[in-house]
Amino acid sequence: MIRLDKFLSQAGVASRRQLREIIRAGAVRIDGVCVTDYAYKFDETACTVTVNGETVREAGTLVVMMNKPAGYITATEDARKATVMELLPPELQGRQLKPIGRLDKETEGLLLFTNDGDLLHRIVSPRHAVEKEYYAEHEGVVTAEDIAQFAGGMLLRDGTRCRPAKLESIGLGKSLITVSEGRYHQVRRMMSARGMFVTYLRRVREGPLRLGELGLGQVRVLSPEEVCLLADRQNNEKNCME
């Protein structure tokens, strides 16, 4: 059970204070019934909530963005190493969140979490090929041949053929790399296959979502609009347009 104002604020609809106004004004319905008490408690996993007629995505669905610092492994639990779960604030603990994909222990940047298994699988599925963009600092200098190798589908040292990717030099030893798959140590291995050892790596974008101003170690709940942007078009129509 969850309080109505808390549910809507976690879904990113508005701030708690604004929400109380919105709820009092009669804009919110739970399973079609208008609720004007912001403290009303309900089962968010079983009810559909609308604000001004728009569905606040599937009840209970939560997507969270973290700016992951180095030093944490992407796992839900580990006996010895610190995991990204420890960085979730207390109000998001116990919400069944799981990381979407992974970042290496030493990689920083955008890491998403959700409690929606379907959404998670859709985003990590190779069929959907969600683009991920990284900022890298590295040894060596990017050449035209490196860029061409990335664009043409690079062969890694172990014989793996990568999907076409984008390499853009933005300064001496600084590059942006965009890939549409999530193999183990993908960016580090691609750079290393071209003789460029990566010394720092940060994910700055996943699909339509950018890390933006989110501070290192900080977390924010995505708005329903951002969640719909992230999901594929078919799903958009199902969850956002009804």
Q: Which of 9, 61, 67, 107 binds ligand URA (CB under 6 A)?
A: 107
Choosing from 5, 31, 104, 116, which is the catalytic residue? 104
Task: Look up 104 and say whether it is catalytic.
Answer: yes
- Element (H or E) spanning 235, and its range? helix 233-240
**Contacts to ligand URA from residues 29-88, by CB under 6 A:** none
Q: Is 149 in the site for ligand URA (CB under 6 A)?
A: no
Q: Tell me the residue ranges of DSSP E strands in 52-119.
A: 54-55, 63-68, 98-100, 108-114
Q: How far is the CB of 67 from ligand URA (least distance, A)?
A: 14
Q: Which of 166, 185, 194, 238 binds ligand URA (CB under 6 A)?
A: 185
Judged by CB under 6 A, which stretch of 2-10, 44-52, 167-175, 183-191 contacts ligand URA? 183-191
Taking the least distance from each CB to ligand URA, the nearer of 59 and 142 is 142
Per-position b or e across 28-52, b if 16+ CB within 10 A of its CB: bbbeeeebeebeeebebeebebbbe
DSSP state of 36: -
Judged by CB under 6 A, which stretch of 62-70, 155-163, 181-189, 232-240 contacts ligand URA? 181-189
Q: How far is CA 241 from the centre of its chain?
A: 22
| Other Cβ atoms closer than 10 A to 193 | 18
Q: How far is the CB of 206 from ligand URA (least distance, A)?
A: 11
Q: Is 202 in the site for ligand URA (CB under 6 A)?
A: no
Beta carbons of 203 and 69 less than 8 angstroms apart: no
Q: Is 220 in the site for ligand URA (CB under 6 A)?
A: no
- What distance in Å separates the CA atoms of residue 242 and residue 239, rounded to the nearest whole number? 6
Residue count of the chain: 242
Q: Are strands 198-206 and 108-114 parallel, antiparallel or unpaired?
A: parallel
Total residues contacting ligand URA by CB under 6 A comes to: 8
Q: Is 194 in the site for ligand URA (CB under 6 A)?
A: no
Residues that bind ligand URA (CB under 6 A): 103-104, 107, 185-188, 201
**What are the catalytic residues?**
104
